[in-house]
Amino acid sequence: MPARPFRPLLALLALLALFARPAIAGEDFDRWYVVLLAGQRAGWSHEWQATEGDRITTASVMSLEIRRGSAVIEFEIEGEFVETTRGQPISARSSQAIGSQPVVREFLWTDDGVEITTTQGGRSTTTTQDHPEGRWLTPAAASDYVLARMRAGAETISVTSIDTSSGLEIITNEMTGFRREDAQAWERTVPSIRCEVETSAAPGVVTTMWADEQGNAVRSEIPLGGLTIITVMADRATAMSGGQAPEVMVDTLVAPDHPIRRPRETRRGVYVLSMGDGSEIPEITETSVQAVETLGRDSARVIVDLDDAAPSDASDIDRRRLLASSAMMDTGDQALIDLTRRSLRRASNDPMERAEALRRAVYRHIREKTLGVGFASASEVCQSRAGDCSEHAVLLAALLRVDGIPSRVVSGLVYADTFLGRDAIFGFHMWTQALIDVEGKPRWVDLDATLSPSMPFDATHIAIVTANLDNESGSAEMMTIARLLGVLEIRVEEAEQ
């Protein structure tokens, strides 16, 4: 199978690690947690708050290890927010080390807006955005508010705050169902108050959280489809004593009701996607070659027809964002510019031909087809020449932008005859789309750089969600994938060559 699934899961875990930080306590604190995934120790997290003069710093670090087949991936996520004791924002910092080079974002509040500096691999870019609109609370102020409402006996608590993990994202958390219930910390039981938390950053995902009388988070459980992330309060030595690097990929593979013959030659496919646990199916994207029919609360029919491509709605297209440079796709990187020029040396001016030439070039450039790379940026992949589906997708999207062709990535599924010891499965996958004018109208053209140069795109690719991968993107796209993990079922109605 030429495609190397399935990078979206790593990005999801990075995002969910940030949501997994339950902050309630209003006073300074220093807390450690064991992090479990699928019932196994995956790592640790550390959260603290410190007040010095008129400034409050809230910070967290989460370190995880997971296994993808035989490959072990390590990644670390950090966050810090500085505010005044009156709840005014001063600065923030976030760092995600999932590839070999961490992506660091620094935020500085000024009278004119928020200066955002993004750094990766020694290259930095600085932009200024308007102050976030609406009323929202800084992290420490939000914690004080929640604790006060809990002690007042509120039945529902709604608090709006900010998440700087990927940009200036305003999120609203709603806490309900408060009741007294003992919580299981690491090797001890703690009298606690239990509640359910829903966040606008993760639609459809309900976190269960337990906090002690002082507001210290004791335990949290976040369902990821068929998987669950659990954080459990522990001491420092216990939290950092090592993990088991749980395998997270095999359980996400989806066996359809019957195999697909000659999948790489499939031109039309009709699939019924359903939620095995009866939950509501997330919204599935439509593309130039993919249509979606809602069948019920928990299912949808997806029709992929490569011979019936439709133009895209021009009113929904923001070409600026689709050509923008970002931490994941630094179009000003000279190495990416040089690779683009070399790849197009013999290409004509036809955008379709140029896009296909870049697809073939990315396949050849990435020599080591491996699951052992984190969520690497285009610049990293250009240098390392290693990766799986997401590295192919991100590098191709970057080269397209360098050439002036708007691009984005797609997270979805692809059929494989065999993968990780399993036969006839769909696995989560990532590929690229280029926006190209066909007969005078814009059309999203699918390009899978994991397929060999002689192998065309096929209709066993099921798109779930698209992403621009710019510095403004939030987490909603990846959360759509999260809700499918371990519970998605697929029935193949048609597969025509």
Angle at 165 between CA 323 and CA 406, to 5 degrees: 10
The CB-side HSE value for 450 (13 A sphere, CA atoms) comes to 28
Instruction: Looking at the structure, tell me whether residues 70 and 197 fall in a common domain.
Output: yes
In this predicted model, what pLDDT tens digit does every residue of 404-415 receive, in sequence order?
999 999 999 999
Instruction: Looking at the structure, tell me whether residues 187 and 275 fall in a common domain.
Output: no
Structure tokens at 250: 């095999």
Range 189-204 burial, b when 16+ CB lie within 10 A, else e: ebebbbbebbbbbbee
Instruction: Looking at the structure, tell me whether residues 229 and 355 fall in a common domain.
Output: no
Residue 25 included in any domain:
yes
**Which structural domain, as residue segments, surrounds residue 356?**
253-496
Last residue of a domain, one of 215, 239, 263: 239
Last residue of a domain, one of 239, 264, 279: 239
Indicate the pLDDT class of residue 27, thresholds 50, 70 and 90. confident
Higher pLDDT: 176 or 2? It is 176
Q: What is the mean pLDDT of the chain?
A: 88
Mean pLDDT confidence for 386-395: 91
CATH number at 15 reads 2.50.20
Indicate the pLDDT class of residue 74, thresholds 50, 70 and 90. confident
Instruction: Looking at the structure, tell me whether residues 223 and 265 fall in a common domain.
Output: no
Instruction: Looking at the structure, tell me whether residues 342 and 417 fall in a common domain.
Output: yes
Count structural domains, the chain: 2
Residue 244 included in any domain:
no
What is the pLDDT, as a whole number, of residue 26? 57
Instruction: Looking at the structure, tell me whether residues 34 and 155 fall in a common domain.
Output: yes
Residue 298 included in any domain:
yes
Instruction: Looking at the structure, tell me whether residues 264 and 161 fall in a common domain.
Output: no
DSSP strand pairing (227-234 vs 488-496): unpaired
Q: What CA–CA distances, in Å, run from 214 to 27, 143, 177, 280?
A: 9, 12, 18, 36
Residue 3 included in any domain:
no
Range 89-112 burial, b when 16+ CB lie within 10 A, else e: bbbbbbbbbbbebbbbbbbbbeee
Instruction: Looking at the structure, tell me whether residues 205 and 271 fall in a common domain.
Output: no
For 38-42, 359-363, 441-445, which range has the lowest pLDDT when averaged over its residues?
A: 38-42
Indicate the pLDDT class of residue 1, thresholds 50, 70 and 90. very low
In this predicted model, what pLDDT tens digit does every residue of 188-226 receive, in sequence order?
999 999 999 988 877 778 889 999 988 889 999 988 777
Last residue of a domain, one of 171, 205, 239: 239
Return the DSSP state at 101. S
Instruction: Looking at the structure, tell me whether residues 168 and 294 fall in a common domain.
Output: no
Percent of the chain with pLDDT over 70: 92
> Given a cut of 70, is residue 100 above it in pLDDT?
no
What's the rounded Cα separation, in Å, for the pair 17 and 422?
A: 29
Residue 344 included in any domain:
yes
Q: What is the model's pTM?
A: 0.85
Residue 354 included in any domain:
yes
Quickly count: other Cβ atoms within 10 Å of residue 253's Cβ. Answer: 20
Residue 247 included in any domain:
no
Instruction: Looking at the structure, tell me whether residues 228 and 323 fall in a common domain.
Output: no
CATH number at 378 reads 3.10.620.30
Instruction: Looking at the structure, tell me whether residues 370 and 480 fall in a common domain.
Output: yes
Residue 246 included in any domain:
no
In this predicted model, what pLDDT tens digit does every residue of 436-490 receive, in sequence order?
999 899 999 999 999 999 888 999 999 999 998 875 555 667 778 888 888 999 9
What is the pLDDT, as a whole number, of residue 471? 59
Instruction: Looking at the structure, tell me whether residues 265 and 235 fall in a common domain.
Output: no
In this predicted model, what pLDDT tens digit does every residue of 422-432 receive, in sequence order?
899 999 999 99
For 97-111, 310-324, 387-401, 471-485, which range has the lowest pLDDT when averaged over its residues?
A: 471-485
What is the pLDDT, as a whole number, of residue 304? 98
Higher pLDDT: 37 or 294? It is 294
> Given a cut of 70, is residue 421 above it in pLDDT?
yes
What is the pLDDT, as a whole number, of residue 21? 47
